[in-house]
């Protein structure tokens, strides 16, 4: 077997090191925050919440793919199982939404620990195949398990009262809760990327043998970032279950894993803002094309092919090159 | 009538046969993946879609042109393989200098396009493709009833697998191929057109998938999603076997099909996940795969 190439997956990340948080990141963050605070008054809140959930999901994958250099083709397993657990906790056990979400996140983290520990034993495309296969296993379990409701999924999940106090039935109230969750998680991801831990991750991504020779326990770093990514994907899935009051087989199916890879690829792997742009673009596209049935799949495929053939840096990656600033 | 561990022999052998059939498809598909991976270093994610195309082209030949099964066995791999050649030339060939994951992403996109187009055209309900008259009916073996067509599928795929193994391991062309897998630059320096060999190898791998599709058409209904779930199981088979050896891919394919069939007899609830569980165990014990070499 020929050796796997160690470099080259993320081309756009060749970025000069900066001290502290770059000022343009702060400006973009606050602009985005203001826009998102105004968004529910202009756009349909549920639509924006969907974008937010998928932006978090894609950012979680990007933490693993863009900064850890590990392509997981099975992230739907974490997204979906967290969504099932949260929906079950809120509906059957009647727990508060914040507890339901936390339980979902915990389930995703545990699953991430199990799958991650096995998957990091292989590299490159094998890693992608192993994660995909385990996700399919989770899907088959979801099809058979009694509590997932099979084809129907778990429907009519109550949104409940946050901390037992704030009624979340109103889309607008829920919107600001979701916004707070997603913004906090995104800031957390930003912090991870720019921490010493994140720097080691990038070193492993760019040259694994060298990182080993420098004395880093590469497997521990890989497993840690895998679990973090799975946990955050779970947060996205659990939040989505509360927003849409539904969790179904779609959430755990391989097409969901493919979709989130597509969002990350389109927006720009290894960029901070790319997954947000990619998620917004894909969710909007699906929203407008929902009536065209299988054409959505075809268009997703075309975007995949076009992204790989024409602009591997993604939308934000191209912008970053153009502005000569890391985004 | 004797019984085996409380299982009536009809059920046992019936499931064994079903497992052997599934194993035939696992073997054919993982063989194609291994051949492609050996030379191109990419995982052909559209393999399942190309298998589905094989079944559909056979159905189209029958429905629109009246061309029978036996001709389809010959024509379909050539036609679908040719589309593979075009895909390799136009797209995949431009990605060799990049990380191999881009090849995976590209072929995943292609799979979405192919499946989406067929779903638009033919829906998801599935189209019937009848068993050729020569192979209809079955044989009573005393302990079980053996449908002739199923026996043919097992024999045919075993022959194709063996032929491919022979061509790669024992012929001069195969020697070039194995040499190019080890060191393409050096083989090119000896005057062998390596890029053309890569193109034809991809075409051949795709043709194998299409052939599997034709074989599958009379058993499963011809349907745009028939390859999507199957290919993920085949990926697990490939991880278990390791892609280092052709023979390994074949043996793992047949073996896991049988294991799956046995699981369906003794513990039906686990039959859809047993291959993934085995994959987890193999990753724990021998991460490179049963027949793989440590990278």
Count of other CB atoms within 10 angstroms of residue A205: 24
Tell me which residue of B217, B230, B227 sits closest to B70, measured CA to CA: B217
Count of other CB atoms within 10 angstroms of residue A2: 14
Average pLDDT over residues A155-178: 86
Chain A residues inside the 8 Å CB shell of B229: 136
Count of other CB atoms within 10 angstroms of residue B123: 13
Suggest the residue from B87, B109, B244, B293 to mutate for an interface test with chain A (most A CBs closer than 10 A).
B109
Q: Phi-psi bin for B161: left (phi > 0), alpha (psi -120 to 50), beta?
A: alpha
- DSSP per position, A100-154: HHHHHHHHHHHHHHHHHHHHTTS-HHHHHHHHHHHHHHHHHHHHH-GGGTGGG-B
- DSSP per position, B198-261: HHHHHHHHHHHHHHHHHHHTTTS-B-TTTTHHHHHHHHHHHHHH-TT-HHHHHHHHHHHHHHHH
- Distance (Å, whole) CA A150 – CA A134: 19
Q: What is the residue extent of each domain of chain B?
A: 9-120+148-285
The C-alpha of A87 sits at a distance from chain B's nearest C-alpha, in angstroms, of: 24
Residue A53 DSSP class = H
Using the predicted structure, report yes or no on whether residue B81 has a pLDDT greater than 90. yes
Tell me which residue of A101, A245, A98, A96 sits closest to A164, measured CA to CA: A96
Chain A residues inside the 8 Å CB shell of B194: none
Using the predicted structure, report yes or no on whether residue A7 has a pLDDT greater than 80. no
Using the predicted structure, report yes or no on whether residue A8 has a pLDDT greater than 60. no
The neighbouring-strand residues paired with A192 are: none
- Distance (Å, whole) CA A91 – CA B229: 31
Average pLDDT over residues A226-231: 97
- Distance (Å, whole) CA A29 – CA A9: 26
pLDDT band at A6 (very low <50, low <70, confident <90, very high): very low
Q: Where is pLDDT greater, at A100 or A150?
A: A100
The C-alpha of B116 sits at a distance from chain A's nearest C-alpha, in angstroms, of: 5
Tell me which residue of B278, B104, B248 sits closest to A134, measured CA to CA: B278
- Distance (Å, whole) CA A199 – CA A67: 9
How many angstroms separate the most distant Cα atoms in chain A?
A: 60
Could you report the per-residue pLDDT of B218-235, keeping only the tens digit for each? Answer: 998 899 989 988 999 999
Please answer whether residues B99 and A10 qualify as being in contact, where contact means their C-beta atoms are separated by less than 8 angstroms: no
**Is A227 inside any structural domain?**
yes
- For A255, the token pair is 């097409």
- Distance (Å, whole) CA A257 – CA A276: 16
Q: Where is pLDDT greater, at A163 or B164?
A: B164
**Is A32 inside any structural domain?**
no
H or E stretch at A161: strand A161-162
Is A137 within 8 Å of B233 when comparing Cβ atoms? no
Count of other CB atoms within 10 angstroms of residue B141: 10
Rounded (10°) angle between helices A76-91 and A97-119:
150
Q: What is the percent of chain A with per-residue pLDDT over 70, rounded to a whole number? A: 94
Using the predicted structure, report yes or no on whether residue B10 has a pLDDT greater than 80. no
Could you report the per-residue pLDDT of B120-136, keeping only the tens digit for each? Answer: 888 888 888 888 888 88
* Cα separation of the two ends of chain A: 37
Mean pLDDT of chain A: 88
The C-alpha of B137 sits at a distance from chain A's nearest C-alpha, in angstroms, of: 34
Please answer whether residues A245 and A159 qualify as being in contact, where contact means their C-beta atoms are separated by less than 8 angstroms: yes
Suggest the residue from A4, A126, A150 to mutate for an interface test with chain B (most B CBs closer than 10 A).
A126
Tell me which residue of B27, B226, B116, B108 sits closest to A254, measured CA to CA: B108
ipTM, interface predicted TM-score of the complex: 0.87
H helical segments located in B5-128? 9-40, 47-65, 69-90, 101-122
Please answer whether residues B230 and B24 qualify as being in contact, where contact means their C-beta atoms are separated by less than 8 angstroms: no
Q: Phi-psi bin for B154: left (phi > 0), alpha (psi -120 to 50), beta?
A: alpha
Please answer whether residues B25 and B230 qualify as being in contact, where contact means their C-beta atoms are separated by less than 8 angstroms: yes
Could you report the per-residue pLDDT of A90-149, keeping only the tens digit for each? Answer: 988 988 899 999 999 999 999 999 999 999 988 888 899 899 999 999 999 999 888 888
Could you report the per-residue pLDDT of B170-215, keeping only the tens digit for each? Answer: 999 889 988 888 888 899 899 889 999 999 999 999 999 999 999 9
pLDDT band at B164 (very low <50, low <70, confident <90, very high): very high
* Cα separation of the two ends of chain B: 51
**Is A299 inside any structural domain?**
no
- Strands A166-167 and B138-140 turn out to be unpaired
Suggest the residue from A2, A134, A141 to mutate for an interface test with chain B (most B CBs closer than 10 A).
A2
- Nearest neighbour of A4 by CB, restricted to B100, B113, B273: B100
Domain count within chain A: 1
Could you report the per-residue pLDDT of B231-271, keeping only the tens digit for each? Answer: 999 999 988 988 777 888 899 999 999 999 999 888 888 88
Domain B9-120+148-285 in CATH 3.40.390? The answer is: no
Vertex A15 angle, CA A196 and A257, to 5°: 75
Is B295 within 8 Å of A7 when comparing Cβ atoms? no
- For B246, the token pair is 């052709």
**Is A238 inside any structural domain?**
yes
Residue numbers of the domain that contains A134: 42-252
Q: What is the pTM of this model?
A: 0.89
Is B113 within 8 Å of A303 when comparing Cβ atoms? no
- For A296, the token pair is 């959505």
Could you report the per-residue pLDDT of A241-259, keeping only the tens digit for each? Answer: 999 999 999 999 999 999 9
**How far lies A248's CA from each of A45, A54, A86, B119, in Å?**
21, 16, 12, 22
- Distance (Å, whole) CA A36 – CA A102: 24
Stated length of chain B: 295
B146 SS3 class = strand
- Distance (Å, whole) CA A106 – CA A110: 6
**Is A124 inside any structural domain?**
yes
- Distance (Å, whole) CA B123 – CA B117: 10
Q: How many CA atoms lie within 13 A of B252 on its CB side?
A: 29
Vertex B48 angle, CA A153 and A306, to 5°: 90
Please answer whether residues A238 and A83 qualify as being in contact, where contact means their C-beta atoms are separated by less than 8 angstroms: yes
Average pLDDT over residues B52-66: 94
């Amino acid at each position: 077997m020929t050796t796997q190439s160690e470099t080259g997956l993320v081309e756009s990340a060749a970025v000069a090191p900066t001290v502290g948080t770059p000022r343009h990141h702060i400006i973009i963050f606050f602009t985005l925050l203001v826009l998102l605070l105004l968004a529910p008054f202009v756009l349909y809140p549920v639509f924006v919440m969907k974008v937010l959930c998928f932006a978090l999901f894609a950012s979680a994958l990007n933490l693993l793919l863009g900064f850890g250099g590990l392509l997981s083709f099975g992230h739907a397993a974490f997204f979906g199982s967290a969504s099932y657990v949260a929906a079950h906790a809120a509906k059957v056990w009647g727990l508060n939404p914040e507890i339901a979400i936390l339980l979902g996140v915990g389930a995703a983290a545990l699953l991430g620990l199990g799958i991650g520990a096995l998957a990091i034993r292989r590299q490159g495309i094998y890693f992608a195949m192993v994660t995909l296969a385990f996700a399919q296993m989770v899907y088959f379990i979801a099809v058979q398990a009694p509590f997932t409701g099979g084809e129907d999924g778990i429907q009519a999940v109550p949104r409940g009262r946050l901390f037992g106090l704030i009624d979340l039935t109103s889309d607008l109230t829920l919107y600001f809760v979701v916004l707070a969750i997603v913004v906090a998680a995104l800031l957390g991801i930003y912090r991870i990327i720019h921490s010493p831990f994140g720097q080691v991750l990038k070193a492993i991504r760019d040259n694994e043998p060298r990182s080993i020779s420098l004395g880093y326990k590469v497997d521990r770093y890989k497993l840690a970032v895998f679990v973090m990514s799975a946990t955050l994907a779970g947060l996205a899935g659990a939040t989505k279950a509360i927003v849409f009051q539904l969790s179904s087989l779609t959430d755990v199916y391989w097409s969901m894993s493919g979709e989130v890879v597509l969002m990350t690829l389109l927006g720009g792997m290894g960029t901070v803002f790319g997954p947000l742009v990619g998620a917004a673009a894909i969710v909007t596209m699906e929203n407008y094309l929902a009536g065209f049935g299988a054409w959505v799949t075809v268009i997703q495929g075309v975007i995949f092919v076009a992204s790989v053939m024409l602009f591997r840096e993604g939308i934000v990656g191209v912008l970053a090159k153009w502005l000569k600033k890391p985004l | 009538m004797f019984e085996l561990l409380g299982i009536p022999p009809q059920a046992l052998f019936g499931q064994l046969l079903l497992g052997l059939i599934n194993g035939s498809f696992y073997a054919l598909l993982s063989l194609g993946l291994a051949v492609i991976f050996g030379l191109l270093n990419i995982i052909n994610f559209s393999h399942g879609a190309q298998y589905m195309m094989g079944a559909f082209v056979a159905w189209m030949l029958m429905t629109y042109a009246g061309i029978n099964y036996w001709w389809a066995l010959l024509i379909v791999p050539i036609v679908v393989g040719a589309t593979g050649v075009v895909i390799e030339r136009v797209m995949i060939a431009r990605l060799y200098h990049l990380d191999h994951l881009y090849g995976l992403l590209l072929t995943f996109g292609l799979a979405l396009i192919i499946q989406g187009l067929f779903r638009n055209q033919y829906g998801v309900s599935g189209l019937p493709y009848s068993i050729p008259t020569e192979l209809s009916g079955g044989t009573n073996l005393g302990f079980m009833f053996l449908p002739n067509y199923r026996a043919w599928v097992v024999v045919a795929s075993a022959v194709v697998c063996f032929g491919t193994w022979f061509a790669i391991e024992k012929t001069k062309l195969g020697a070039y191929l194995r040499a190019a897998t080890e060191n393409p630059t050096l083989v090119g320096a000896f005057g062998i057109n390596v890029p053309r060999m890569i193109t034809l190898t991809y075409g051949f791998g795709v043709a194998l998938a299409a052939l599997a599709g034709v074989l599958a058409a009379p058993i499963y209904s011809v349907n745009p999603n028939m390859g999507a779930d199957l290919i993920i199981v085949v990926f697990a088979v490939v991880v278990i076997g390791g892609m280092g050896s052709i023979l390994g891919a074949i043996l793992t394919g047949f073996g896991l099909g049988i294991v799956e069939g046995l699981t369906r007899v003794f513990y039906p609830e686990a039959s859809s996940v047993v291959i993934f569980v085995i994959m987890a165990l193999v990753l724990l014990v021998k991460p490179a795969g049963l027949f793989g070499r440590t990278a």
